[in-house]
């Protein structure tokens, strides 16, 4: 018992030091922003120190090439910040981005992507205003979780001349664990190229920022809320894996959604199914003690659950020469994600091939992959 008290005190002291350090870095960054004009490299604002030089961070070689990728991603974050401030939308760094902000005051040295998250009402509001806000931007575009052409989709003819990523039935069946239909948004820079591992190389093209969504999750005291959650899970599974749900109906498995309504839902084009799922979640959103990404309860089974109260207030943390909003209860949020998040574990990044100079359409045209 005494050891637990000592450990709790040590963690509290570590958190206090981290907060003080972050606040000092915020003040320094603010002074630098006011005193110095923003440097530009290749026409982009620079948010990463010594962007043209390699360096060692935490025993890991951070190349100039990686720094340029980071810099594009922070540029996307800056645009998200502008839109959200204009429309009073809350967002938070999450996952590795939050861990990087808290532990490294920037990117985790071996990380190569950015994750942010919004509560459902803010997520839907952002979706509603983003297209108009980006209308005149030369390269920033919004991608949605229904921005795909599916081999089995009844609206495929509608996309005959589209360059949306094409997903074959064989690809879906071969890689079911990463089915690219999770509820998320992506802000991308189409003047870049960003290739996932081989199984996804014709799915995502450009450097992006992932925007995830938080919905109410169990435990619920109200049975009606649990029913809504289970209904949403059925709709999500029917959106992502329609063939499996059709087979379950043939097998007379039980559903909360009546068979005739579920069959009507399954007969909708994929895009409409995805949109209806989102609207169901928005309509039934209420404040509950626990929140999560519903995909983790329905598909991944990796049940990361957050305490809603940790997101009630926002703190701002330095992130390279930028800053990001974070849930005030970030310690508990990071513990939910990683357990002992202070322990340094070097991992591989998500990508091997990327360019901040070559637009993805040029890359795919030259490699004859765009129309495959």
Task: Return d(Cα 319, Cα 232) in angstroms, integer.
Answer: 35
Q: What pLDDT does residue 146 have?
A: 76
Q: Which is nearest to 148 in space by CA: 240, 267, 245?
A: 240
pLDDT tens per residue across span 81-99: 999 999 999 999 999 999 9
pLDDT tens digits, one per residue of 211-234: 999 999 999 999 999 999 999 999
Q: Which of 326, 339, 367, 321 is nearest to 38 (CA)?
A: 321
**Which pLDDT does position 157 carry in this prediction?**
43
**Helix axis angle, 120-133 relative to 64-87, nearest 10°?**
100
- pLDDT for 145 equals 80
- pLDDT tens, residue by residue, 273-323: 999 999 999 999 999 999 999 988 777 667 899 999 999 999 999 999 999
- Report residue 41: phi and psi, to 5°: -130, 125
Quick one: tokens of 189? Answer: 């820079």
Per-domain residue ranges of the chain: 2-146+181-217+288-366, 223-271
- Asked if 341 and 334 count as a contact pair (C-beta separation under 8 A), the reply is yes
Q: Which of 25, 15, 69 lies closest to 320 in space, CA to CA?
A: 25
Q: What is the pTM of this model?
A: 0.86
User: Looking at the DSSP assignment, which residues form a beta bridge with residue 226?
Assistant: none
In whole angstroms, what is the distance from residue 176 CA to residue 186 CA? Answer: 21
The closest of 27, 72, 4 to 318, measured between CA atoms, is 27
| Residue 258 to residue 277: CA distance in whole angstroms | 16
* Spatial distance between the Cα atoms of 250 and 231, rounded to a whole number of angstroms: 19
Q: Where does 36-94 have alpha helices with state H?
A: 64-87
pLDDT value of position 116:
98
Of 50-64, 311-325, 350-364, which range is least confident?
350-364
Q: What is the pLDDT of residues 177-207, one digit of tens each?
A: 555 567 789 999 999 998 876 555 555 578 9
Kindly tell me if the per-residue pLDDT of 126 is higher than 70: yes
Mention every residue, 6+ apart, whose C-beta is less than 8 A from residue 208: 73, 76, 113, 143, 186, 187, 188, 189, 194
């Amino acid at each position: 018992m005494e050891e637990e008290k000592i450990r709790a005190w040590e963690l509290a002291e570590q958190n206090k030091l981290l907060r003080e350090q972050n606040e000092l870095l915020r003040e320094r960054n603010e002074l630098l922003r006011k005193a110095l004009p923003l440097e530009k490299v290749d026409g982009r604002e620079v948010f990463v120190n010594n962007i043209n030089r390699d360096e060692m961070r935490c025993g890991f070689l951070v190349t100039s090439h990686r720094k340029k990728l980071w810099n594009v991603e922070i540029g996307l974050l800056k645009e998200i910040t502008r839109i959200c401030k204009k429309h009073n939308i809350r967002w938070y760094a999450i996952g590795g981005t939050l861990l990087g902000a808290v532990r490294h005051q920037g990117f985790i040295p071996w990380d190569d992507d950015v994750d942010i998250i919004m509560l459902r009402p803010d997520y839907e509001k952002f979706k509603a205003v983003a297209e108009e806000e980006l209308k005149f931007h030369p390269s920033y575009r919004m991608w949605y979780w229904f921005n795909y052409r599916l081999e089995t989709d009844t609206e495929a003819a509608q996309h005959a001349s589209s360059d949306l990523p094409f997903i074959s039935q064989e690809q879906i069946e071969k890689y079911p664990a990463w089915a690219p239909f999770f509820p998320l948004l992506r802000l991308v820079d189409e003047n870049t190229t960003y290739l996932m591992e081989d199984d996804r190389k014709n799915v995502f093209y450009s450097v992006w920022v992932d925007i995830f969504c938080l919905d109410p999750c169990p435990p619920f005291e109200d049975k009606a809320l649990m029913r809504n959650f289970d209904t949403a899970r059925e709709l999500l599974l029917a959106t992502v894996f329609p063939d499996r749900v059709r087979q379950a109906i043939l097998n007379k498995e039980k559903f909360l959604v009546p068979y005739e309504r579920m069959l009507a839902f399954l007969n909708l084009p994929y895009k409409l199914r995805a949109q209806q799922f989102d609207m169901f979640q928005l309509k039934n959103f209420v404040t509950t003690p626990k929140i999560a990404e519903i995909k983790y309860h329905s598909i991944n089974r990796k049940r990361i659950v957050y305490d809603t109260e940790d997101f009630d207030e926002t703190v701002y943390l330095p992130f390279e020469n930028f800053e990001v909003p974070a849930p005030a209860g970030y310690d508990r949020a990071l513990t939910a994600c990683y357990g002992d998040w202070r322990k340094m574990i070097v991992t591989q990044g998500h990508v091997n091939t990327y360019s901040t100079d070559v637009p993805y359409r040029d890359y795919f045209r030259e490699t004859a992959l765009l129309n495959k």
